[in-house]
Amino acid sequence: MPEYPMSPLAGQMMDQPLLISSIIAFAARHYGDSEIVSRRVEGDIHRYTYRDCERRARKLADALEHLGIRMGDRVATLAWNGYRHMELYYGVSGSGAVLHTINPRLHPEQIAYIVNHAEDQILFFDLTFLPAIEIMARSCKTVKRYVALCGREHMPRETSIPALLCYEELVEGGSEDYAWPEFDERSAASLCYTSGTTGNPKGALYSHRSTVLHAYASAMPNALNVSAADVVLPVVPMFHVNAWGLPYSVPLSGAKMVYPGAALDGKSLYELFEQEGVSFSAGVPTVWLGLINYVLENDLRFSTFRRTVIGGSSCPPAMMDTLIDRLRVQVVHAWGMTEMSPLGTACTLMGKHLQQPPEAQRAVLRKQGHAIYGVDMKIVDDDGAELPWDGATSGHLLVKGPWVVSGYFRGEGGEVLQDGWFPTGDVATIDPDGYLAITDRSKDVIKSGGEWIGSIDLENVAMAHPAVLQAACIAVPHPKWAERPLLVVVRRPGMELRREDLLAFFEGKVAKWWIPDDVVFADSLPVGGTGKIQKNKLREAYQQHRLPSA
Ligand code: ADP
């Protein structure tokens, strides 16, 4: 990392390190009565306040110290969104140890790989994952203690896990007198592995400084716009890039927090939204699909839900239109990645857009959005030369900023930066106003006769057809064009749709040579651990598909 020169005249402001513990300490002191409401794995609803959360996080930090956890040690979680997970966010990082949130939807072998690579010392888990842990425990070489996130009454009676600890007893045993330690803000705070669709997962190691700066920036009006008047329900899991930073940005804003636990189906979410007066939420497109269908099928309305962030993969325009026009929920389309903590851009309008007709505003809102302060971005050609921001030229997207990785944990993947910029692996355009539009992931781009076809645009058209529930567009080999697009479609239940009709639906909506060569219908699409459609699996499945044009 670069060393910067110091001016002979130092500024005279207090040199207070930006530490994660300061967020919960602030919330406890200044928004002490604001609530954290959680649907527990045990089935009931739990409620308490930021004041309670901070006190228990300190007790937890003290208990961790007694278990021998020291600064820099990794402490893992396999847990849903809930208050105990939030206590771990603060108790572990606040004590100087490193919180390693693991995606429980990964294959057990992959989880064991990650645990060993991170050298996790303790693993905290929700009871849902007990069977998986029992299988994995023998392969997790570095884990000394396992802790079940429950009270004594719910502890498993019989388990193969040796000396299993009970979370509530652990917290109970910690001292209330524990004071948050102060240390260098560049210390590691938390660790998150990328899903590793190609090769082994790689770890992004966040610092206290990067996390606090990301929390400030992401709460701003141009980004997630979180305020003390909000009630926020992160559907995005706390193991998916720290629930996009919400467990940090929500307490620093003083908003009420609502955690959905393991119940992520449309009905459970809708009920919690209504019961707790949720005003703001965040999640990947696939989760909104379930919630929107439940609300529309049952002819329901949201009474308090006004705004949601959608990211992680492209938000289909049809989904955005349904949320805005039918359900009166404003959509903030956002883009980011694990390597960016994760927020890079968010799509909110500028003053000049407000004078424009609604369709023009909607066209802006469909893009992935504007960089938030702290993130710089550029697009380059294959030789690394910067490309113009004309909204049409697409190129490889590179980013930099204080919450972007400089390399992966334990040097995995070697040197990753290119002249100080992080290559995102995404292909994008940037318009003259600075709005980013993602065309594709570079590995998903379809290369037809030397030209790129953006699969996201094709999926967006297909998703606008009333009989299409889900669509994914992939490249399949073609003797003349090298690759051509194949559309894989899940029909809406009970609706008819023929291949020819869907292909005709594309006419006039995209360039003629972009229209997919063929359509196949499937019962479902493969979805990965973070709710994204796994195009690599689709490509494998349809590798031999013979296009009519071939
Ligand atoms: P993984 O998918 O490997 O688990 P991430 O969750 O970090 O890792 O995914 C980051 C990637 O997700 C980005 O590089 C981009 O390709 C994609 N992505 C994220 N948000 C969007 C969006 N709004 N539109 C299109 N693609 C997105």
Which range, of 114-128, 186-200, 389-403, averages the lowest pLDDT?
186-200
Q: Is 334 left (phi over 0), alpha (psi -120 to 50) or beta?
A: beta
Domain(s) labelled CATH 3.30.300.30 in the chain stretch across 444-541
Q: What is the mean pLDDT of residues 146-163?
A: 96
Categorize the per-residue pLDDT at 3 as very low, low, confident or very high, splitting at 50, 70 and 90: confident
Q: Catalytic: 194? A: yes
User: Which secondary-structure segment (H or E) carries 280?
Assistant: strand 280-283
Q: How far apart are CA 277 and CA 232, in angstroms?
A: 9
Using the mean position of ligand 1's atoms as its centre, give its distance from the Cα of residue 228 in Å: 29
Question: Does the C-beta of 194 come closer than 6 Å to ligand 1?
Answer: yes
| Active-site pick, 339, 421, 429, 532 | 339
Domain(s) labelled CATH 3.40.50.12780 in the chain stretch across 16-206
Q: What are 98's strand-pairing partners?
A: 74
What the block records as the tokens of 236 is: 């995005």
Position 272 scores a pLDDT of: 98
* Atom number, ligand 1, closest to the C-alpha of residue 340: 7
Question: Does the C-beta of 242 come closer than 6 Å to ligand 1?
Answer: no
Question: Does the C-beta of 439 come closer than 6 Å to ligand 1?
Answer: no
Residue carrying the six token digits 């194949």: 486
Q: Kindly report whether the global pTM for this prediction surpasses the value 0.75.
A: yes
Q: What is the pLDDT of residues 46-76, one digit of tens each?
A: 999 999 999 999 999 999 999 999 999 999 9
Exposed, middle or buried by CB within 10 Å (0-12, 13-18, 19+), for 57? buried
Which range, of 126-135, 188-197, 245-254, averages the lowest pLDDT?
188-197
Model confidence at 197: pLDDT above 70? no
- Mean pLDDT for the chain? 96
Model confidence at 469: pLDDT above 70? yes
Nearest Cα residue to atom 12 of ligand 1:
312
Q: How far apart are CA 62 and CA 243, in angstroms?
A: 25
21-30 and 83-94 are packed helices; what angle lies between their axes, rounded to 10 degrees? Answer: 120
Question: Does the C-beta of 203 come closer than 6 Å to ligand 1?
Answer: no
Q: What is the pLDDT of residues 478-517, one digit of tens each?
A: 999 999 999 999 999 999 999 999 999 999 999 999 999 9
CATH C-level class of 16-206:
alpha beta
Model confidence at 283: pLDDT above 90? yes
Question: Does the C-beta of 424 come closer than 6 Å to ligand 1?
Answer: yes
| Active-site pick, 77, 194, 211, 530 | 194
Position 135 scores a pLDDT of: 92
Question: Does the C-beta of 343 come closer than 6 Å to ligand 1?
Answer: no
Residue with more model confidence, 286 or 32: 32
Position 131 scores a pLDDT of: 94
Query: Rg of the chain over CA atoms, in angstroms?
Result: 24
98-101 vs 74-78, strand pairing mode: parallel
Which residue among 310, 335, 370, 398 is best mutated to probe the pocket of ligand 1, counting the most ligand atoms within 8 A of its Cβ? 335
Q: Catalytic: 452? A: yes
Q: What is the mean pLDDT of residues 241-251?
A: 98
* Atom number, ligand 1, closest to the C-alpha of residue 529: 4
Question: Does the C-beta of 367 come closer than 6 Å to ligand 1?
Answer: no
Q: What is the mean pLDDT of residues 227-243?
A: 97
What the block records as the tokens of 67 is: 């278990």
How many C-beta neighbours within 10 Å does residue 267 have?
14
Position 198 scores a pLDDT of: 63
Are 235 and 269 spatial neighbours (Cβ–Cβ below 8 Å)? yes
CATH C-level class of 444-541:
alpha beta
Q: How far apart are CA 258 and CA 263, in angstroms?
A: 13
